[in-house]
């Protein structure tokens, strides 16, 4: 089986198992997703979803973030960890969006990664979930782990994983495949234990062959 064939089979198997491929982060608009994703660095989505309601209610608009005090944001996001840097980035993101992009979340990976604290993982999530751009590959730790285990890639470098999967995954399925890998990585193919007996990828997983 070629890697392209393996990719197609993997997409179909996870699509059948997790038909609703939704982002775990809760948000109401593109800016909120961008902020929630920044908060999720080295923090669980569940924790972020506990923190963001108060943050989003206090700062409902871009201008509110632009004018926010770092210490006030820090207080609201403290439990997400690394709150000093995240608070500075959140305010910096808002200010750069206002000054450089006319107050609108930008829609290219180059523009998105020019924002403070925004890497390719976050940029791809925005491109896929907000703008519906095909070919988005969100290199979450779950995706990297599963892609290696089933044999799609043989590297843990996020940029290399993104590049390889862009070649293999059907562009219209890639973003949702990444979301499904997150769900599968939490429920079945975890970092600590592989529950192969209940895995939808078991028949063709490299780990089992």
Catalytic residues: 121, 140
Which of 47, 33, 57 is CA-nearest to residue 78?
47
Cα dihedral 123→206→16→37 (10° resolution):
-20
Question: Which structure tokens are listed for 143?
Answer: 């995706």
**Are residues 91 and 73 in contact, defined by beta-carbon separation less than 8 angstroms?**
yes
Which of 188, 179, 184 is CA-nearest to residue 138?
179
**Are residues 152 and 10 in contact, defined by beta-carbon separation less than 8 angstroms?**
yes
């Amino acid at each position: 089986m070629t890697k392209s064939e393996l990719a197609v089979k993997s997409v179909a198997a996870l699509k059948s198992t997790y038909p609703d491929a939704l982002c775990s982060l809760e948000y109401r608009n593109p800016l909120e997703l961008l902020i929630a994703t920044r908060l999720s660095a080295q923090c669980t989505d569940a924790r972020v979803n506990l923190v963001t309601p108060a943050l989003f209610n206090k700062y409902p608009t871009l201008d509110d973030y632009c004018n926010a005090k770092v210490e006030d944001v820090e207080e609201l996001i403290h439990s997400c960890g690394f709150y000093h840097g995240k608070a500075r980035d959140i305010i910096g993101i808002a200010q750069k969006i206002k000054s450089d992009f006319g107050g609108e979340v930008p829609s290219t990976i180059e523009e998105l990664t020019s924002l403070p604290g925004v890497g390719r993982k976050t940029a791809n999530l925005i491109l896929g979930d907000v703008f519906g751009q095909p070919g988005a590959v969100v290199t979450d730790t779950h995706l990297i782990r599963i892609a290696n285990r089933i044999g799609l890639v043989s590297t843990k470098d996020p940029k290399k994983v993104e590049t390889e999967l862009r070649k293999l995954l059907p562009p219209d399925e890639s973003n949702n495949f990444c979301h499904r890998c997150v769900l599968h990585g939490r429920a079945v193919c975890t970092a600590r234990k592989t529950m192969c007996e209940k895995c939808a990828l078991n028949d063709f997983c490299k780990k089992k062959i």
